[in-house]
Chain A
């Protein structure tokens, strides 16, 4: 029984950290602040999903957490490519032809 309360308290702690990251997402002055907050919010949500499975004794949340951990990464990279190239198709068309070591063209 103590285990249930401990996991519930840990879930509430993770919920608090999600809410704090949401505050940065809503207020962040630059767009990169918001991108950082989205990425971090996704990681904390993955942790919450894994923890919640232990609260209700049902482990389906871990599958969703696995899926979302990958999607979060892909979505963050897509957002950043879009900021840089201003168009997703140019970004996709240039994949593999960029100069290495960050030299500017």
Chain B
């Protein structure tokens, strides 16, 4: 079996993700856990670039590695700084659920079509039409950008509104403006 050199990179990134995930579960100090989740998002962004999904990688780097870390730090001031240790018997339930869900996913995995095959439903009907018509219709060089911004533009517009509302809600909950009086009276 010939080893494609890019597969070494894939395996290395997956190994790093696994190690970081183990460390997130085992550490008790929540500062370190927040920093590790930021690094997890960054490694998955780089891995997505290696897998040739550039737009998803961009979004993951901007949102997961940057904004999410700062937001979780801000949320941590409302809770404790150390996680309370959980006894072993209380972990059996979540472990069973995780194993069941993982087994179901592995069971469904062989039924997926080969990567990039041309006769799958995803690449046949609407996908093929988009691939053929993007250059002449919209003159946008990237097909994914054309679908997101032109053919399904209203969908993207709705998503932007939702994310903006979520950001406003987070800022109102964290109370980034109303704490000055409490601090001055100390």
Contact = CB atoms under 8 A, between A and B. Distances in A.
Do A and B have CB atoms closer than 8 angstroms in the complex? yes
B77 interface: yes
B176 interface: yes
Contacts of B177: 89
Contact of B74 (A11, A60, A88, A93): A88
Given A75-B65, A78-B73, A87-B77, A22 B9 contact: no
Contacts of A75: 38, 65-66, 69-70
Contact of A88 (B5, B57, B73): B73
B35 A34 contact: yes
B84 interface: no
Interface string A1-15: 000000010011001
Interface of B is mostly: helix
A26 B19 contact: yes
Nearest to B50: A52
A71 B77 contact: no
B12 A15 contact: yes
A75 B71 CA distance: 10
A92 B175 CA distance: 12
Given A71-B61, A89-B179, 10 more contacts: A18-B16, A22-B19, A25-B36, A34-B35, A35-B35, A41-B39, A52-B46, A56-B52, A88-B73, A88-B77
Contacts of A68: 42, 45, 61, 65-66
B14 to A, nearest CB: 12
A45 interface: yes
Interface string A24-52: 01100001001100100110010011001
A25 B35 contact: yes
B45 to A, nearest CB: 7
A58 B12 CA distance: 21
Contacts of A88: 70, 73-74, 77, 174, 176
A94 to B, nearest CB: 9
B66 A25 contact: no
A22 B16 contact: yes
13 contacts: A19-B16, A22-B39, A34-B35, A52-B49, A61-B49, A75-B69, A75-B70, A82-B74, A83-B31, A88-B73, A88-B74, A88-B174, A89-B175
Contacts of A49: 46, 49
B58 A79 contact: no
A67 B32 contact: no
B8 A74 contact: no
A9 to B, nearest CB: 10
B61 A90 contact: no
